[in-house]
Amino acid sequence: MITLYTWSTPNGRKIPIMLEECGLPYSVVPVNIGKDEQFAPEFLRVSPNNKIPAIVDDEAEGGPLSVFESGAILTYLAEKTGRFLAPSGPARYKALEWLHWQVGGLGPMLGQLGFFAVRSDEKAPLAIKRFTEEADRLLRVMDKRLGEGPYLAGQDYSIADMACYAWTLAATSFLKDPLADTLGSVPNVHGWLERIGERPAVKRGMEVPKT
């Protein structure tokens, strides 16, 4: 059994989507970051960086294994199940490229834009401009890539798509006002969101945890 520690954020949705896609049995421990539960000692033993998501796999080879950081967890689960990440060759590295693109770029930039443009009571115009421009650039990079194939790694749905889905969906909802101009000019992104969003496992994963 896998224990999933997560919350209802774009980062927190990635791993339940993967677990649902793989059909792996898991239990959920909600970590309410609004109440600072990510700083609880029992959670820090699993995720020393006090960030969700994290997992503990009680059936890992060699005994229970805890894994934190969403990119690492997605890669671990893909290798555990042999699904959604090619075992070798170009397809594997394309998926890993776009997975790391999300972890290092799309997620942090959209997160910063959300803070400065939406959540913060005190607006900082320079910061809003900086992160709007970078979010615009990233979404256009994504749109160009999706004009070359149906999924980020190419022809096959992969952990890269799972990593990007919830964040990109947030760009069209939570961030729709600051990104209005961009969202009107990335048709391939919208088509990809529709394809991914129709998957039953994605629908189930997006509802975890129930809050």
What is the per-residue pLDDT across 71-114, written as a single tens digit (0 to 9) for each? Answer: 999 999 999 999 999 999 999 999 999 999 999 999 999 999 99
Total residues found in the chain within this entry: 211
Q: How confident is the model at residue 17 (pLDDT cuts 50, 70, 90)?
A: very high
- CA–CA distance, 43 with 132 (Å, rounded to integer): 33
Q: How confident is the model at residue 210 (pLDDT cuts 50, 70, 90)?
A: confident
Q: Are 197 and 147 in contact (CB under 8 A)?
A: no
- CA–CA distance, 179 with 199 (Å, rounded to integer): 26
pTM over 0.85: yes
* Three-class DSSP category at 1: coil
Angle at 173 between CA 177 and CA 120, to 5 degrees: 60
